[in-house]
Structure formats: C-alpha cells, structure tokens
Amino acid sequence: MRDARVMADELLAWYDRHARAMPWRVGPAERAAGVAPDPYAVWLSEVMLQQTTVAAVRDYFTRFRTLWPTVHDLAAAEDARVMGEWAGLGYYARARNLLKCARVVSGELDGHFPDTLDGLKALPGIGPYTAAAIAAIAFDRAETVVDGNVERVMARLFAITDPMPGSKPALREAAATLTPDTRPGDYAQAVMDLGATICTPRSPACGLCPWRGDCAAHAQGIAADLPAREAKKPKPVRYGVAYVGRRTDGAWLVETRPESGLLGGMLGWPGGDWGETPEDRPPLPADWQDLGEAVRHTFTHFHLRLAVRVATLPAEATPARGHFTDRLAPSDLPTVMRKVYDLARDSLS
C-alpha cells in the first residue's frame, strides 16, 4: 500500500472529477472558488442521513431548508410541525433532538455551531460520527469520518475479514491512518462517495477505483465478500391495537405519546403496549368495531401488526386517555399512525 498522503491526494483528484451533487454539499469547484459550507446545512443533512439513504433525504432536506432557512427559524418552529414534516424519515428521536439542538445553538450560541469535535459532541443529539462529519465537512477539521460506506471501503482496502459489528474498531483505526490534514472535509466526502458509487455492497466496480492497486481484498479476490457480517437474527413480531374514535362533531380522539421511547412526543391513536399478544386497553367504553385488517409496519428491531378498531363517539365523551382535536392533519402523524388513519377514515367519515 502506498503512502497515505499519496493515496489521499489520488482520491481527492478522483473526487474533484466525480463528486456527487447534493443540495447540502459545497462541491470541490465551489470550495476552490472560496465558497464555504454552511454548518447549519451540514448538520441538518447529517442528522437526516443517519440510517437513511441519500435518495430518501434529498426532498426532506430541501423542504426543511425552504420552511426553516436558518437555525433560528428551525428553533422557533412548532414541535408538531417539525415532527409532521419529519414523518417518513423514521427514528423520531432524531427529530426531537434536532429541535433541542437548534434551540441550544440559536438561544445559547447566537446561531453559531461549535467548530471542534468536543464542542459539537456537547450538543443534543450529536454523537461521535455526526460530530466528526460536521467538524470535517463544515470546518475542515482533520477528523476521521466513518459511516457504512467508509467501513466497507476500509474492510476491502485492508482486507479486514472479521465480521461486523465486532470489526468496527479495527475499521475506524484503519480509516484514521488515511485521514489527511489537507482538505479533510472533501476527503471525508470522497471516501463516502467512493463507497456509494464504486465500492458498492454488491459487484464493486474495482476497475474504476482509484485505490484498486492498494486494495488487499481486490488482490485476494475477496472484495465482494467484505465486509463480513454476523448472521442476522430474525426480527420478532409485536402486536397491538389502535383505537380510532371520532366524535359526532368531527373531532378525533388522539394521544401524545410519552417523550421517551418509540415515537416519543408524536401524535398517535390510543392503544395499549405492543408485545407478543396485543394489550386490549380502549380509551373509553364505546361500540368499538374491529376493521378486520391489520396495519403492518416495520421498525428497526421488530415488525408490528396493529389491529384497528373504530367507533363514533358522543359529544359528551370523556376519554381516560388522550384528547380530542378538530384540527387533525394526517401529515402530523408518524408513518405507522398515518397508515392507521388511512385504513380507518372511510369508516368514520
């Protein structure tokens, strides 16, 4: 393997020709012309991109920047509006932390993001990866940025055959040996682009790779087999019940979920806990009718099957849980709850 500086220069030359255009990215030509990245845009994109694809994030990012052009605008936004616009990206704790972070940066830091790794890690919702990415991309700090694409590139480049996730420390250590002091932000994005477009999970295009001659896995003929992964355990299935009630005056019965836990702080339909058997906890006595069709949704660690029960409620109804609203916007609901709404609305119209 060649000297790390030489390899970084070669990858940067490749990036200068082939960098992906993204709405949050300042490309190499713009950087060369003196255009600096916007830390707000870098932070927003990195939070959105956590465990989500670039293709899925593009429209969300553009919409958020249109609605809230600056961190001050986002900090002043209503929680429900932001959570509604986030619906579909999943991992709603990220959206809650997004608002918390925006309010700290706006209210305590005069709208300026810290430019150091430690300063960024001190903000709500910013972990080691996101802090490194912002520090490198927005402030050109020589921090090592390791996402899934970078892990794959390093596993192949260094022929690290131990399975994931146990090999993560070794992959990060390998990546750190190559991180340059010059243009570290562009370099971080270059490695990610290399993994996304050339060193892909299946059928890597090794013939087009600027690091082909340095790649130990390519030399051994095992590039397509790396990174190795431990066998995945099957996702369990959990069951629950969603109670969709509508008052005779048109108001819907909803509840705000607890701040902690799955879908924390989001609007939803009253129901019991989700588990191996559904918990039957109607929010008030009524003629609840089961629709006979379950809503199916998959979270990171389990599949969910929600039975949907509907009822028309009298004007004087007093629920034990939840509250009535006559201004329900389906866009304010997380995806699984919107699926429930779509299934139930015709029965209560």
Shared domain for 122 and 248, answered yes or no, is: no
CA separation for the pair 59, 154 (Å, rounded): 30
Q: Which of 346, 247, 329, 258 is nearest to 78 (CA)?
A: 329
pLDDT tens, N- to C-terminus, the chain (349 residues) = 889 999 999 999 999 999 999 999 999 999 999 999 999 999 999 999 988 889 999 999 999 999 999 999 999 999 989 988 998 887 788 999 999 999 999 999 999 999 999 999 999 999 999 999 999 999 999 999 999 999 999 999 999 999 999 999 999 999 999 999 999 999 999 999 999 999 999 999 999 999 999 999 999 999 999 999 998 889 999 999 999 999 999 999 999 988 878 888 888 999 989 999 988 899 999 999 999 999 999 998 999 999 999 999 999 999 999 999 998 888 888 899 999 999 999 888 7
Out of 202, 225, 248, a domain closes at 225
Predicted confidence at residue 89, as pLDDT, reads: 86
Predicted confidence at residue 310, as pLDDT, reads: 96
Q: How many CA atoms lie within 13 A of 302 on its CB side?
A: 12
Predicted confidence at residue 129, as pLDDT, reads: 96
Shared domain for 254 and 118, answered yes or no, is: no
Which amino acid does the sequence have at 11? L
Predicted confidence at residue 52, as pLDDT, reads: 85
Shared domain for 75 and 133, answered yes or no, is: yes
CA separation for the pair 279, 39 (Å, rounded): 45
Predicted confidence at residue 4, as pLDDT, reads: 95
Q: Quick check: bond before 114 cis, omega within 30?
A: no
Predicted confidence at residue 258, as pLDDT, reads: 84
In a domain, 176, yes or no: yes
Shared domain for 131 and 60, answered yes or no, is: yes
Q: What is the CATH number of the domain that holds 252?
A: 3.90.79.10
In a domain, 285, yes or no: yes
Out of 157, 191, 225, a domain closes at 225
CA separation for the pair 43, 249 (Å, rounded): 44
Indicate which residues carry an active-site annotation.
46
Domain that holds residue 289: 237-348
Task: Determine phi and psi for 21, rounding to 5 degrees.
Answer: -85, 125
Shared domain for 218 and 273, answered yes or no, is: no
Shared domain for 28 and 161, answered yes or no, is: yes
Predicted confidence at residue 264, as pLDDT, reads: 81
Predicted confidence at residue 116, as pLDDT, reads: 97
Question: How many domains does the chain contain in total?
Answer: 2
Shared domain for 89 and 188, answered yes or no, is: yes
Shared domain for 80 and 215, answered yes or no, is: yes
Three-class SS of the chain: CCCHHHHHHHHHHHHHHHCCCCCCCCCHHHHHCCCCCCHHHHHHHHHHHCCCCHHHHHHHHHHHHHHCCCHHHHHCCCHHHHHHHHCCCCCHHHHHHHHHHHHHHHHHCCCCCCCCHHHHHCCCCCCHHHHHHHHHHHHCCCCCCCCHHHHHHHHHHCCCCCCECCCHHHHHHHHHCCCCCCCHHHHHHHHHHHHHHCCCCCCCCHHHCCCHHHCHHHHHCCHHHCCCECCCCCCCEEEEEEEEEEECCCCEEEEECCCCCCCCCCEECCCCCCECCCCCCCCCCCCCEEEEEEEEEECCCCEEEEEEEEEEECCCCCCCCCEEECCCCHHHCCHHHHHHHHHHHHHHC
Q: What is the CATH number of the domain that holds 59?
A: 1.10.340.30
In a domain, 230, yes or no: no
In a domain, 232, yes or no: no
Number of neighbours of residue 65 by Cβ within 10 angstroms:
19
In a domain, 261, yes or no: yes
Number of neighbours of residue 120 by Cβ within 10 angstroms:
26
Tokens representing 117 are: 């790794």
Which amino acid does the sequence have at 247? R
Out of 161, 191, 225, a domain closes at 225
Number of neighbours of residue 258 by Cβ within 10 angstroms:
11
In a domain, 270, yes or no: yes
